[in-house]
Amino acid sequence: MKSTVESLQSPRTTVKRLPKRATYDRASVEAILDAGTICHVGFAVGGQPYVLPTVYARVGETLYVHGSAASRMLESAAGGIPVCATVTLLDGLVLARSAFHHSVNYRSVVVLGVAERVDDPERKLAALRAVVDHVVPDRWDEVREPNEQELKATLVLALPIDEASAKVRTGGPIDDEEDYALPVWAGQLPLRLVAGEPVADERLGHGIPLSPAAIRSLEAHRGARR
């Protein structure tokens, strides 16, 4: 029976180093993208590589990132040059008996492709809404939408998720057999990103409560995005 799992593998995204940690099915890639908050977008302009961190959102099979319309680097990326977007989630430190075998547990995604500039006003607004709600679910409905001047000042790029790979490490240290007898503690130190207590803006109007949607989002962050 033919597999129904969609693979995003290509010669460029095929993992050479520790390939057993790699997966290329769309569901695994999208799950990691949905769990992250920050991505790094890499591209080269005039032979000079740049890597920019930014918040993002996945909508279907497209990754949306945004930035200032005045950014020369983002404007170059919008001109149809190849880009690389990466997302990494750090899940823990792996402490081995030897320095060489120390590692980290992580989930990561690399997406390759050509980004396009989003100029259609409705699609652009929908992409920005997706970015805001990806960071804080339902936040868009609670705030003022961007006005025309703000939309003009914002550049939105769309990167199709057609060529990608995911790589995951879990578990404890893998030491050389002779090192297991060493009197050195070894194991895992799990890590989570959690939100602290909300701090109200000093100019917040009297009696304005933190919205239920924001509270739910903070609680989700307190439990870590997994």
The pLDDT tens digits for 84-110 are 999 999 999 999 999 999 999 999 999
d(CA 193, CA 196) in angstroms, rounded, equals: 10
pLDDT given at position 222: 56
Name every residue whose Cβ is closer than 8 Å to that of residue 176 and which is 6 or more positions away in sequence. Answer: 98, 101
Which run of H or E residues covers position 91?
Answer: strand 82-95
Instruction: Break the chain into its structural domains and give their ranges.
Output: 19-175+183-188, 192-226
pLDDT 10s digits, 32-88:
999 999 999 999 888 889 899 999 999 999 999 998 887 776 777 777 889 999 999
* 2 CB burial (10 A radius; 0-12, 13-18, 19+): exposed
Residues 6+ apart with CB under 8 A from 93: 102, 104, 105, 188, 189, 191
Mean pLDDT of the residues in the chain: 89
Return the structure tokens found at 56: 């993002």
Distance of CA 64 to the CA centre of its chain: 11
Fold held by 19-175+183-188: Pnp Oxidase; Chain A (2.30.110)
Displacement of CA 196 from its chain's centroid (Å):
21
Whole-number pLDDT of residue 78: 72
In this predicted structure, the answer to whether residue 1 has a pLDDT above a threshold of 50 is no
Q: What is the pLDDT of residue 69?
A: 80
Section 6-35 average pLDDT: 89
Contact 168, 107 (CB under 8 A): yes
Residue pair 69/152 in contact (Cβ under 8 Å)? The answer is: yes
Q: What mean pLDDT do residues 137-164 have?
A: 94
pLDDT band at 223 (very low <50, low <70, confident <90, very high): low
> Average of pLDDT values for 139-161?
94
Provide mean pLDDT across the span 181-210. 91
By CB neighbour count within 10 A (0-12 exposed, 13-18 middle, 19+ buried), where does 78 fall?
Answer: buried
Whether residue 226 has pLDDT greater than 70: no
pLDDT over 90 percentage in the chain: 64
